[in-house]
């Protein structure tokens, strides 16, 4: 067997595999938390980054720090905004190489108090928007015969959230993981890779004061094999692996970065 794949090279330069020079990446939910970090990391590796969310002031401040980037205000619960995000990206750059479906919502509520509207809204933002953006960006990726879609799921798409109760969140993240597999199956032969990045507990607006709250800390320490929350930079490597040629033979995977939470 001599065929080692489209990206094989005889030059030993492993770090260059992670570079994204000249590529165009969309990061949703880039106005805070993990998404903001993802945008910075992709930009640092040479990508032109399109940052999207509802809070335009934050997006513009971020874009001002990232050369060649574009800020697009979009409420991803609205189909027209999703379409405009992709059309503005294509108008400006003519292509999309990497899509990071990161925007997501969730909050603690027991099912007895959870409303149908809350459940449906979480599914719209966490699942339907991800489906729609993948479909819209996928058109250009399939035409180009290459692309990487990274769906930010959660370890809570793999396991129950106990003792925190959040059915809408767990349902949506479980869906994201199997949508990842299905899309990977549909587009593998078209050159598009689709993977999920599934974090454990990380500090962000979503997790609020968990990193200082004593009972939350005790809960994390008791359940994570690495007894602490993750630091945002501890997702950099996983993100880049999935985004770049370094992960060129990975698709349909959910990469857990959870301090060993799900290994117990």
Residue ranges that bind ligand NAP, judged by CB under 6 A = 29, 31-35, 53-55, 74-77, 102-106, 125, 152, 154, 199, 201-202, 204-207
CB 30 within 8 A of CB 18: no
142 Cβ contact list (under 8 Å, min separation 6): 187, 190, 191, 192
Count of residues making up the chain: 264
179 vs 245, beta carbon nearer ligand NAP: 179
Smallest gap from Cβ 3 to ligand NAP, in A, equals 37
190 vs 219, beta carbon nearer ligand NAP: 219
3 Cβ contact list (under 8 Å, min separation 6): none
Using CA atoms, how far apart are residues 197 and 130, in angstroms rounded to an integer?
13
Q: How far apart are the first and last CA of the chain?
A: 40
Smallest gap from Cβ 152 to ligand NAP, in A, equals 4
190 vs 211, beta carbon nearer ligand NAP: 211
Smallest gap from Cβ 113 to ligand NAP, in A, equals 20
Q: What is the DSSP letter of 257?
A: E
Catalytic annotation present for 249: no
Query: Which residue among 18, 38, 93, 169 is the active-site one?
Result: 169
23 vs 102, beta carbon nearer ligand NAP: 102
Which residues does the annotation mark as catalytic? 169
């Amino acid at each position: 067997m001599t065929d080692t794949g489209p990206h094989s090279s005889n030059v030993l330069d492993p770090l260059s595999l992670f570079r994204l020079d000249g590529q165009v990446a969309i990061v949703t939910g880039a106005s805070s938390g993990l998404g903001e970090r993802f945008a910075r990391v992709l930009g640092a590796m040479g990508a032109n980054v399109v940052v999207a969310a509802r809070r335009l002031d934050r997006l513009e401040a971020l874009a001002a720090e990232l050369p060649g980037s574009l800020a697009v205000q979009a409420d991803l619960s609205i189909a027209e905004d999703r379409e405009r995000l992709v059309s503005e990206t294509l108008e400006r750059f003519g292509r999309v190489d990497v899509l990071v479906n990161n925007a997501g919502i969730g909050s603690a509520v027991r099912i007895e108090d959870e409303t149908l509207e809350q459940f449906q809204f979480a599914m719209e933002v966490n699942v339907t928007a991800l489906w729609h953006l993948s479909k819209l960006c996928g058109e250009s990726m399939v035409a180009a015969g290459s692309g990487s879609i990274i769906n930010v799921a959660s370890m809570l798409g793999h396991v129950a959230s106990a003792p925190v109760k959040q059915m809408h969140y767990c349902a949506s993240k479980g869906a994201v993981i199997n949508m990842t597999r299905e899309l990977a199956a549909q587009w593998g032969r078209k050159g598009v890779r689709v993977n999920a990045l599934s974090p454990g507990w990380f500090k962000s607006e979503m997790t609020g004061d968990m990193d200082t709250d004593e009972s939350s800390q005790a809960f994390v320490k008791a359940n994570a094999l690495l007894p602490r929350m993750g630091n945002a930079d501890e997702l950099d490597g996983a993100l880049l692996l999935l985004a770049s040629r370094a992960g060129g033979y990975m698709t349909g995977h959910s990469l857990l970065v959870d301090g060993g939470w799900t290994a117990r």
